[in-house]
Structure 1
Amino acid sequence: METWIIFFSLGSGFLIAYLSLLNKRLIKYNKYLTNGGLLILLFSMGSKIGVNDKVLSEISQIGFKAVLFALSSIMGSVFLVYIFSQKKSKNYDTNQFTSRDKGGEKVNYKDTIIIAFTVIAGLITGLLFLNSVHISLINTISSYALILLLFGVGIDIGLNKEMLKNLIKYGWNIIIIPILIAIGSILGTVIAGFVIGFSFNESAAVGAGFGWYSLSGIILSQLHSVELGSIAFLTNIFREFLTFLILPFVVKKFGNSAGIAPGGATTMDVTLPLIKKVAGEEMVIPALVSGMVLTTLVPILVPFLIKL
């Protein structure tokens, strides 16, 4: 698939939603568009892994590389946010972001379970019923599904005017953290990738997933290879998992601001309750905005970086 198609699909969805060109009655159906496209793509990715003997034979190596990439992306992002918070500690008052929002106390793993089940179902289907002859058909179906998914993601981003309101309300200081997390994540995976023999664009594209495993893995499977897509998928799963394990340590050693860094894009949903509990209520809004910004960047940066 050509990169311009990805950006066109994303951009057109964003403009239609942002300019309010979409009938309000149709907006509620967008989640079915994105969820349907996502499930098709995840099933396709699993099936392509199932028919790919090379990927199956190297699954343990892929897992090791994914853990290394996940750790390096966390370390890079935490380091940059920590340096920034140290230099700006006198001027950067996170108390201005204090939120009284009591929502989000429970972590909902429903989507994660559905995603895992869909990939596994595709994997089993590929192993038992498909062969290399079916790859062309799978690629065609997944290409159209990706276009629909990105169009839906663009609509979601265009409808999310809350992020812009927060930027106006709290100032541009609040966007510095997600930018540092993005740079640190990419730098971390580039360094790790250099050590284990990955090219700059491959490592950077994996790092640009920022924890959004369901999209970054799919894009790289389409634009590069099933192997790199699998690595990206597992890297971001491990990043989310490791965040739950190490966040208390990160906050204790590097401060509350650095507590936003490990979760990447997941700080707007899955890891937000833990951030609120460990780093304090004053970090809720910075974490939400950071997650929104990074989520917006994933479908832009991943295809851009892999094509460098």
Structure 2
Amino acid sequence: MTDDRADAGVRAPRLLGPSEVRALAAALDLRPTKQRGQNFVIDANTVRRIVADSGVTGNDVVLEVGPGLGSLTLALLAVARRVVALEIDPVLAAALPATIADRAPDQVDAFEVVLADALRVTDVPGPPPTALVANLPYNVSVPVLLHLLALLPSLEHGLVMVQSEVADRLAAVPGSKAYGVPSVKAAWYADVRRAGAIGRNVFWPAPNVDSGLVAWTRREPPATTVTRTQVFAVIDAAFAHRRKALRPSLRDLAGSAEASEHALARAGVDPMTRGEALRIEDFVRIAEALSEVAA
């Protein structure tokens, strides 16, 4: 809890531990499913760490995805001005307000849960969110992150927990083994970095994969005469066949191998270069060149 809240007599939320998480699940007759990526954090120190590392302050409106039983939500309410949680499971969404009322009574007015699929949501109620902090469902973590970054330009920073290998990909730099489509597309929106690892024993049920934290800070996308969709199409084509040179990789997008080579020359990129060697700015130049060649 921030000092000014303590001075004002605002009580800190009571966080959830292993017994409380299991009790809430039992009361709901809840059986976590892999389909929805339901692995609930049961360690209060872990959610405190996530919130501390996220950089969230009392000025932030936080968007959370997949709040589940409320472990991270309660920790966020101790710090943020407001928390909006997107929950796809109707049982969990219906139960969460009661948990907040019980364990964070002084923060009830600062919380709202929205029953929605984060992949399909088109708006978020209330003031524009400024931070995204979430234990993302691992099976859709990259699409959800990219969708929300595109949908909500008000998001300035965030910290998300994802599968460890996905964290490596999101934060990878050109030329590294993990560098690929998620790395480049995330770089369109933000500066991304690896922010630590999370053990399996802090979850219930324990996942069969390791977890990692990814932090990001919004930056302006590269200046360009083409659309993000056009740039992302080049990225997808370049990585459709890893270890394949750009000239044949972009052939279908350009219309022919000759047009592909011509566009790459205009962009100042060696036709035999592979996608994993390029930065987001390089893909922008290629998209612009392809547009000019097609004109």
TM-score by length of 2: 0.21
Structure with more relative contact order (C-alpha pairs < 8 Å, separation 6 or more): 1
Question: Rg: which structure is higher?
Answer: 2
Structure having the larger proportion of residues in helix: 1
- Structure richer in strand, relative to its length: 2
